[in-house]
Structure 1
Amino acid sequence: MTKTIRALMGATALTAIGFAATAQDTTITIATVNNGDMIRMQGLTDEFTAEHPGITVEWVTLEENVLRQRVTTDISTNGGQFDVMTIGTYEVPIWGAQDWLVSLDDLPEDWDADDLLPAIRGGLTVDGTLYAAPFYGESSMVMYRTDLMEAAGMEMPEAPTWDFIKEAAAAMTDEENEVYGICLRGKAGWGENMAFLTAMSNSFGARWFDEDWAPQFDSEAWANTVDFYLDLLTNYGPPGAANNGFNENLALFQQGKCGMWIDATVAASFVTNPNDSTVADSVGFALAPDNGLGKRGNWLWAWSLAIPAGTDAPEAAKEFVAWATSKAYTELVAENEGWANVPPGTRTSLYENPEYLDAAPFAEMTLQSINAADPTSPTVDPVPYTGVQFVAIPEFAGLGTLVGQEFSAALAGQQSAEEALEAAQALATDEMEAAGYR
């Protein structure tokens, strides 16, 4: 793939966002996930290239698990395939500490780093240096059908328990009409089913490791988590739940087939958009459930744009990153798609904007959920790691996916919960010993 063609032609003016003008005739390749907000960003790329006629943008759009594999392989081998990568709150601190990412501390002053939500900015910062710009931030929450809840004679609390969720799922399930009480992630992957299950397990009092890095999948808390999860989806979930990740469940909810869906807060704009969702006028929101132990089952994440150290077009890459994560981009989306559809969860100013608050009935619950997640204290009992729905160590990506495969197999009926937990315990024990944690 053709990369940068340096054709420096005399002095040029400053760009619209404040960098010294980038070398002309530069191509940048951007790797991103196939989520709705990123697809929308690609559709607006002509706006960027019109402002930056010397930069050509090429996109590589991938399913979430594939994206993670591709960008991890590329950056760890200094492959140089991408100039901008869409990565998350898990990768940024690890890769930034390895000097694999370009510092973004020199983004223009009007980009306004101080406007970033503290919880989101903190997860993208290493030793005071910002290594990624958040495109959207999220926690997780309950999205539910208000009409089905009313028909069941129930009222969703603002802060439900898992027991209430199970009761409501049973009441809303109508298999004859292909309406299922609850939709949850079942697709294997450290950022798919294990993101949900790890956050859920926190609220059940479980943890991946104790303070000595001993795996805890043989604990009663993990058994209770997995049993409850399997019971929910087996009895009240859609067929083939083991194959469903974020995008699959989003489609099911939009089609009116889910009574409840517990997932990323960013989905709210897609389930309430009448152009995409058949149930847009009957969606309510609540905090992720708890079990009365002091932790809710919600996570903290940001899909962010970062620049690998191996790029040969760092200035052009910074131009794009600054554009796509700016307040001006938010206003561009609002102009084209409406305020309810702007990328959420990154800036304080958005949650102080009356136009956004009026257009987005989910805004307050999103912000409340983000602020409720604490990566530095994710579990009921003490742990040696940070991260809410992941463990912030390099080994987690591989280990989390392997463990996720075991739980997905249990959901598919290929093994029991006990067998899945035994396999998870063995996998985690082997990994911790091989990596020198124990």
Structure 2
Amino acid sequence: KNYTTTHGTICSRHRAIAPTTGRPPVDGRKKLVGAFEGTDFPPRGPAAIAMGTRHGGGGITPSYKQKRPPKLDLGKAVFGSKATRRSRQVPSDAVPTERDFIQNGARLFEVLIASCRGDTNPIRMFSAREIMEATGNYGRLLGSGLSLVYGGVHDGRPIAVKRGVGHPRHGAGGLFHMFLNEVASLSQINHRNVVRLLGCCIETRVPILVYELVSGGTLYQHIHSTDASRRIPWADRLRIALEVADALNYLHTALRTPIVHGNVQSSSIFLDDRYSAKVGTFGFSELVSSEGMRERKGLWGSGSHGNSDPEYDFGLSMTGASDVFGFGLLLIELLTGKEPPDGCYVGTRSICLEHFISSTQENLLSSVLDGSILSEADPAQLVACARVAVRSVTWDVEQRPTMKELVQELRRIMR
């Protein structure tokens, strides 16, 4: 086809592609004009379920991104029935603004809170004034990435306040879906090794989440710190691995509706002042049925490329095996002190997955291990953990262990 017009071409499979105007034509073999401008990816996970698109196939594009009235589908609780929407022409002055989007989202959020029934982790609503006072007008920045995290104190309790800033890949609507995912997932969870969600604020332009403050930083910061005093000894690394595995097993097996975390990596694991692990960052999580822990259905990929399941990167949905793959990479990071490669790129701070696997299978493990743990760790434990990691990252999902099996294996190794 000719892709050199200034209007681009709309894909027949993914209608999210928006045309552009006012730009000169370019060689279509080099660039599809405007292919991803204005694109908001469809909702996934808890947000998708709440919006009636359980497997992420439908989705919404925030109205403030559109030049004409969009077809929004936030569920009957927010906008009424589909029949009503089809039967009327929406006037231009009735197109929801960004403010309306957040307000309508607040109503949907209330529905999600009600579904929690308060029997697991009841959360509260914070006002914008409370957030400002607790953080000292956002004066203490703790970290940044897809979100800005600020430290604060509320009612004498240390808190962490997370305000999303987003990424071009996800758009403003993606921020909102990630917000809903965190709320829907964490409001159901009560586990000592999962970061506790205290509440949220939806009075602000960008929704804000409030957590317990986990003061020790992320596992990533400790593993890759140049400060020797922050390095974690092997005994603590093994215990942290078991705590993370136990938390993931809880998500997969102990809840009324299982949760797939979807973004298991060292930067999503937080440590308290005793080096106890707490799993956080649930923006990519998914609520799935018990059957869905094993099913693989078409979805758009997400999460961090370097730590995501290869099958997921090829367009298949997350399952329990996806978290197992991420956990396997986490084990490799704890063993080698190097992070997973970013896609095909392997830098000086990352390790080639195939190289680790071959070193383990050929009894050359010591050549890839973190030198700081070689002198203190039991060699048998290192070999056993490496073999567990290799089984976890195999491309054949049927051959991967479950998180329950990983917990049992790690406990046996620790004895």
User: Shared fold by TM > 0.5?
Assistant: no
From the CA coordinates, give the structure whose radius of gyration is larger: 2
Higher helix fraction (1 or 2): 1
